[in-house]
Amino acid sequence: MISKDQLARFVRYLNQNYLASNKIRYFSTKRKKQIMKELQEIYSIEPVGPVIHFIGRNKSLFDTKYMIDTKRWFIGGKWINLPRSKPNIPSIQFKKGPFLLTFSPFNGVSYVSSSRPRDDDEEASSLP
């Protein structure tokens, strides 16, 4: 069948993308049967051979499939692996003087910089 880890990944995907009308909360501390019960409230779950079909009970939920063999989800017209959790966000440090903020390309911004000298009394809340 499907592992608790894969169910948690799917619930996290639903919650992060606001796809279910009611978020399934505290799923990481729940047993697999409890998560399945809550998913069955919003999805009709039908195993067919090596594929498990999740059919939305209302029109706002998309239908999806889970392939047991490859541990992949059919979402957005293709088979994908859902991540375990949110990506690690690097820590930010602020220092007096000119600054340079760099962002990874995932958000479409490669870098932002400022060469404007800052006043010693200027606080971080007044950044340009």
Q: What is the pLDDT of residues 58-110, one digit of tens each?
A: 887 889 999 999 999 999 889 999 988 766 666 766 668 876 767 666 545 44
Contacts of 118 (CB under 8 A, 6+ apart): 96, 97, 98, 99
Q: pTM for the full model? A: 0.62
Q: Is residue 26 in a domain? A: yes
Q: Is residue 74 in a domain? A: yes
Q: Is residue 126 in a domain? A: no
Q: Is residue 69 in a domain? A: yes
Question: pLDDT value at position 121?
Answer: 47
Q: Is residue 118 in a domain? A: no
Q: Is residue 36 in a domain? A: yes
Please, what's the b/e burial string for 101-112 (b: 16 or more CB within 10 A of its CB; e: otherwise)?
eeeeeeeeeeee
In which domain, by residue range, is 67 found?
A: 4-80
Number of domains in the chain: 1
Q: Is residue 86 in a domain? A: no
Q: Is residue 114 in a domain? A: no
